[in-house]
Amino acid sequence: MSSSAPDGSTAVAPAARAADKAPAKSLPQRAMEKLGLRRDIDLALHLPLRYEDETKLTPIAEARPGDTVQVEGVVREAKVELRPRRQFIVHLAESLEVGASAAPGRRRAELVLRFVNFYPSHQKTLAAGARVRVRGELRGGFFGPEMVHPTFKAVDAATPLAASLTPVYPASAQLPQAYLRKAVASGLSRAPLDELLPARIAPTGLPSLRDALHFLHHPPPSASLAALEDHSHPAWQRLKFEELLAQQIAQLQAQRERRKLRAPALWASIGGLHERLLAVLPFQLTGAQRRVAEEIAADLGREQPMHRLLQGDVGSGKTVVAALAATVAIDAGWQCALMAPTEILAEQHFRKLVQWLDPLLAERGQGIAWLTGSRKGKERRRMVERVASGEAALVVGTHAVIQDDVHFAKLGLAIVDEQHRFGVAQRLELRRKLAGDPDGANGQDGPDGPNGRPGTLEPHLLMMSATPIPRTLAMTYFADLDVSTLDELPPGRSPVVTKVFADNRREDVIARIRDEVEGQARQVYWVCPLVEESENLDLQNATETHQHLSAALPGRMVGLIHGRMPAAEKAAVMSLFSSGDMAVLVATTVIEVGVDVPNASLMVIEHAERFGLSQLHQLRGRVGRGAVASVCVLLYTGPLSQTGKARLKAMVETTDGFEIARRDLEIRGPGEFMGSRQSGDALLRFADLAEDAPLLQRARAAAPELLDKHPAAARAHVSRWLGGKMEYLKA
Ligand code: ADP
Ligand code: MG
């Protein structure tokens, strides 16, 4: 467990580099790939989270409890003790050469090193008489100063101290810091780091990329740790500018490419489906719905593919807007695909759309097809045929809609609900599918030849999301995305009141449920978390809660739904709850999106501290969908972390999705906001959109100039920074 020499001269990365020849990859190599560390440049751009100062030694007597220090000494005694538990105890005496404070005549300062986990290698290196350099946090122990699990290495009197601060990199359990340090050091020495930016564009006053990287990986001991750690140092500024520039160029390119594409111009026909749907709707559209429906219709009428995000809080009525867009496409003689991330959500759409559209479509000899993962065999084949023949004017489902065997006769519009919940891979698949079916089954001119020109046509794309994207993010991540916003809820909604209780108030909450169910004939959701790592435990918890509630509510139907149930069973449970037969539904987060049961007036979220803010908001959106006053109870198990507290507080203070999104961004930062938790996926690793707004402005201004006047440099810059992540930008 000794710490590595900071100059990291032993090359480890060459092995990683030769990985394509050597078939078996080591665990750390695979862990590096997972972090997106494939090329030398990726390693060079993998920057330290913080630094350790191994450039100096602190005399033991001068170190204060709480300080993280490096000391050097000789092992006076080393032994394994068995009480109070088995541990390895080392008494380290200050070596004579250091520690000027050890005044003559006084006992030399000593330090206890304590290892609860240890291996024979510990005992070997830390044997009595060994001279070692040790680094860790000093604590005031019972027998004087001690360090628990310090890093250590054997040295002799001539071993030099590190010449620069030692970087600590974002690593993972399978990727030891020492291994990563060596890999990064050799990646840095090999990576081509020539200046790509012409003088007019390279920001003045900041170091070159090469200098910035060498500095950040191995800062001199004199460097300001504060400026390094808060990323305000000019070297960091340079990196952030470079990153933002790459991202802006990539966006600009994607935007220009998209501008070249053509789509069928879709218009509703007089007396057609669109008008008929408006006539049969059981409610008046809100002003916001009317406005966004017009924005969408205007896009559909153009010969360029729409690329629009419809954002609106949960319950703002996005589905009907989607249905209206679909009718425009169908009126124009094209098909529309509507996709949702889960089967339950797809089913919701399906039922509502069937109710609204099926009778109208039937009159025209058309229908709706339904494609999900659980529909297989003959039924699926029949659906696929109806899609291929064009008889299915509307195709609803999960990502099963974009499977390889599905070919649209004439896909004019694709609508993706809760689009941020689709994985990146599925989003890419969708884009590929939309970009043109390889068989040419889709993307041909309409029967009327809508624009008289030959060639393939792209469908229009409408994405919907209940998680509003803050303006800066929309501008930065989706340079060519148009955004429509539903900023008004349908009338007659009463806002949900949110309450936070510690878990020991559970029985009070159950009494409240009884009241709701027996007194008011209302329905209740009880949501249990399901975290992948502890899936079995959580499932057990959900099952127990289900039993407990069943016992507490005799004569009432209490259901259980979770992700591991077969789809048919899930659908059966959902339909019992939707019909009102089931009073209480205990669920893991499968109900998270889109379920619509207006009679549900109480939602209990257990272990609310484990959910993200936008997830809590989405869940809460399942109640308060009718005119009934609704309550959301957040049960938590303490102690709460700072962010946990901030999230629950935000939930109590606001029901406004935009405000929730703003706070979420504040609590989590934009990287996570975009749903890209693995650092390998995050598009912006270093820059912070709020903090680095001035750099973003510079990058925005520089991007078109670089792309137009120095296209080769622009390409090289983007590839250097984004490499394998290019595809994500299109997703
Ligand atoms: P979301 O935006 O969360 O997808 P939905 O489309 O599911 O919201 O709509 C929520 C509920 O509001 C549905 O029951 C829907 O039928 C209803 N609704 C939608 N628009 C209106 C409206 N203008 N007036 C009344 N109710 C509406
Ligand atoms: Mg919805």
- Interval 609-634: pLDDT, tens: 988 888 888 889 888 877 778 999 99
pLDDT of res. 295: 97
**Per-residue pLDDT band at 428 (split at 50, 70, 90):** low
- Interval 447-468: pLDDT, tens: 333 333 345 788 999 999 877 6
In this prediction, residues 185-190 reach a mean pLDDT of 94
User: Helical H runs in 520-638?
Assistant: 520, 535-552, 567-578, 613-620
Q: Are strands 68-81 and 87-94 parallel, antiparallel or unpaired?
A: antiparallel
Average pLDDT value for the chain:
82
**Per-residue pLDDT band at 567 (split at 50, 70, 90):** confident
The identity of residue 316, as a single letter, is S
Q: Which of the two residues, 551 and 200, has the higher pLDDT score? A: 551
d(CA 80, CA 99): 28
C-alpha 20 – ligand 1 centre gap (Å): 54
C-alpha 313 – ligand 2 centre gap (Å): 9
- Interval 92-117: pLDDT, tens: 998 755 444 445 555 568 899 999 88
Cis geometry, peptide bond prior to residue 639 (ω within 30 degrees of 0): yes
Going across the sheet that includes 411-416, the strands are 367-371, 392-397, 335-339, 411-416, 460-465, 307-312, 482-486
Site to substitute for ligand 1 among 277, 292, 316, 488, most atoms within 8 A of C-beta: 316
Is residue 513 within 8 Å of residue 604, measured between CB atoms?
yes
pLDDT of res. 470: 63
Here the tokens at position 354 are 């069937």
In this prediction, residues 259-263 reach a mean pLDDT of 87
Which of the residue ranges 77-86, 228-237, 300-309, 419-428 would you say has the lowest mean pLDDT? 419-428
Q: Which of the two residues, 692 and 189, has the higher pLDDT score? A: 189
Q: Which of the two residues, 23 and 221, has the higher pLDDT score? A: 221
Percent residues over pLDDT 70 in the chain: 82
pLDDT of res. 150: 92
Is the CB–ligand 1 distance for residue 289 below 6 Å? yes
pTM over 0.85: no
pLDDT of res. 725: 58
Q: Which of the two residues, 156 and 679, has the higher pLDDT score? A: 156
d(CA 72, CA 68): 14
Here the tokens at position 463 are 């994405």
Res. 513: pLDDT tops 90 = yes
C-alpha 522 – ligand 2 centre gap (Å): 22
C-alpha 321 – ligand 2 centre gap (Å): 10
d(CA 662, CA 205): 33
- For residue 301, what is the DSSP state? T
Which of the residue ranges 2-6, 341-345, 403-407 would you say has the lowest mean pLDDT? 2-6
Is the CB–ligand 1 distance for residue 313 below 6 Å? no
Of all ligands present, the nearest one to the C-alpha of 288 is 1
* Top-ranked range on mean pLDDT: pick from 9-23, 97-111, 168-182, 234-248: 234-248
pLDDT of res. 296: 97
Is the CB–ligand 1 distance for residue 247 below 6 Å? no
In this prediction, residues 178-202 reach a mean pLDDT of 91
Radius of gyration of the chain (CA): 31
Is the CB–ligand 1 distance for residue 312 below 6 Å? yes
